[in-house]
Each structure stands twice: as C-alpha cells, then as structure tokens.
Amino acid sequence: MACTVLPLHAPISSPLRPLPSRSSYLLAPGGVPLVRRGPRVSHHLHLTPPRALPDIAAASAGLRDVLADAVLAYPPTWSSAAATNLAVFVAGSPLLLSGLSASGFAAAYLLGTLTWRAFGAQGYLLVAAYFVLGTAVTKLKIKQKEALGVAEKRGGRRGPGSVIGSSAAGCVCALLSIYNIGGGALAELWILGFVASFCTKLSDTVSSEIGKAYGRTTYLVTTFKVVPRGTEGAVSVEGTLAGIVASMFLAGVGYILGQVNVPQGLVCVLASQIANFGESLIGASLQDKEGFEWLNNDVVNVLNISAGAILAVLMQRLLVSWRS
C-alpha cells in the first residue's frame, strides 16, 4: 500500500497558541484554575475638588443693604415702596393671613405699596395700626357672633371687596398726593383726608363689632326702635362709645407720626362720627331694601369713608378761612 510521507519541515497550517501563564488564573486548592484574572484596576479615587460655597454672609449683607436703601429712600419711589412692602408682607404673613383671605392679602399688598409710595413709613404705620386693631375687634367673641349669624364671613378674614371698600378714599388721597394735584397748597389736605378716611373706617368697624359682642340694647337709628344685634343701621351705646375712642386713638397715632396736628386730629374725629351717623342712616333706610340690592356693605363702606375724608378736608378749609 502506497503512502505519502510528509516532510519533516512541512509548515503547520494553524500554529499553536501559547498557553496563558498560571499567574493569569485564580487557582483553587490543588492548582485547578477557576477564573481568569482581568487586568489590574487602580483603586485610587480621583476626587474632584469641592465647589466653593456661596458667601451667605455677603449675600445677607447685600440683601440687608438693599432693604435699608428701600426703607430710607426719600421721597419714596415705586420700586422702594414695592420692595419694602414685600419684605413686610413676607415677614408678617402669619398675622396678615389671620385677618385676610388670599385675595384680600393681594389687595392689601397693593394698598400697602400705594400708601408707602405716597406717605412713606408714617402713612404705612397708620394703616398697620388700623389693620391690627380692626382685626382684633373683628375676632372678638367670634363664636358668639357666628352663633347669632352676625359675624364676618370666613371667620372674620376680610376679602378684597372689604379691603378696597375700606381703603378707596385713602387710595384716592394717596394718588392725589403722589401726582401733586393742587401743588403744595393742597398737599396737607390730602394727608388729612387720608388720615380721616381710616379714622372713619376704624370707628365704624369698632363700633359695629363691639356692639355685636357687648351691646346690651341695639336701636335702629331712624326710629330708635329696639332691634336685634347686627341689624343694618342699628347702634348701641357700647359700640358708639368704642367707635369714638377708636377714632381718637387712630388720630392720636397720626399725630405721633407727624401727619396731623391736634386741631386736624380733632377734625378727623368729628368728621368720622358725622360720616358714621350718615352710614347708619343709609343702612337703616336703604340697605337690603327693594331696588337697592346693589347697596351692599362694601359700597356703603366706600360712601362712608369718602364722606369722612371729604368732610375733614372741607372742615379744615373752613377752619383755615375762619382763622385768616
């Protein structure tokens, strides 16, 4: 049988691969390879340098300087008034929201900004005093008032209608002052009207709320007939006296803040009581009557405080004319 003999030097078609070294395997006891080792990995952590923290102290100091500039700006500007009012509203939001609804809070912010722009810190503090005292008496014996059905809605928290109705005349006086209507000759009268409007409203609020809480006998102002507490146009001795004291108190605040002098403060008190009596007449004669459904509390408030401001301005003009 013929056979082919390969030469010893014939090339091998597939060369043998070299075996990996034993060191590249993990060996079990007895030298049996288990897992092939991978490449060595460096275990050194490459830490990125920490970012620089913001300088909180410097930022706080900068914010404090901005607020200080806004508060001390004289005459106030719209931007300084808005910034100052925003800071006050943020800091005092728990107190403000206890006496205002969310929409009332927004309306009050606009009122505060306008007040600061027109009359600076003095006018702003006057409105703050009005708000604190008015809210306090509104909350007084609130459960009893709710049981009688004569309490303010939303647990005594005022809405935007109440805020606007309570401040409309003051806002008009503020705008007249900002745009210097009538020049320097009338500037003092716009401040007087502003103070008188809030004296009128505070007197009205206090007399009404004290009358609801403590009034023993309530009379209808047109007939002096005894009527239930909370009746529109009704008055009580306790409420009337409290309203006069409240008006005197706020006029005194205006005097301390340098907005009115003593004779002007007395004018504010007198004008507020005349206006409140007129409001009681409107409430007893027209409010809730057929054909006057539009005459709600907010509209009556606007008429009331407008009358108080106008009366104060006219009385002051007459007083100055009489003196001269």
What pLDDT, on the 0 to 100 scale, is given for residue 161? 85
Mean pLDDT, the chain cut into blocks of 10 residues (324 residues total)? 49 52 52 54 57 60 57 79 93 88 92 95 96 91 84 78 90 96 92 97 94 89 88 90 97 97 97 95 84 85 95 95 84
pLDDT score at 152 = 75
pLDDT at residue 16, as a whole number: 52
Where along the chain do its domains lie? 122-323
User: What local confidence, expressed as pLDDT, does residue 6 receive?
Assistant: 47
**pLDDT, position 8:** 47
Model pLDDT, residue 47? 58
Instruction: Kindly report the three-state secondary structure assignment for every residue of the chain.
Output: CCCCCCCCCCCCCCCCCCCCCHHHEEECCCCCEEEECCCCCCCCCCCCCCCCCCCHHHHHHHHHHHHHHHHHCCCCCHHHHHHHHHHHHHHCHHHHHHHECHHHHHHHHHHHHHHHHHHHHHHHHHHHHHHHHHHHHHHCCHHHHHHHCCCCCHHHCECHHHHHHHHHHHHHHHHHHHCCCCCHHHHHHHHHHHHHHHHHHHHHHHHHHHHHHHCCCCEECCCCCECCCCCCCEECHHHHHHHHHHHHHHHHHHHHCCCCCHHHHHHHHHHHHHHHHHHHHHHHHCCCCCCCCCCCHHHHHHHHHHHHHHHHHHHHHHHHHHHC
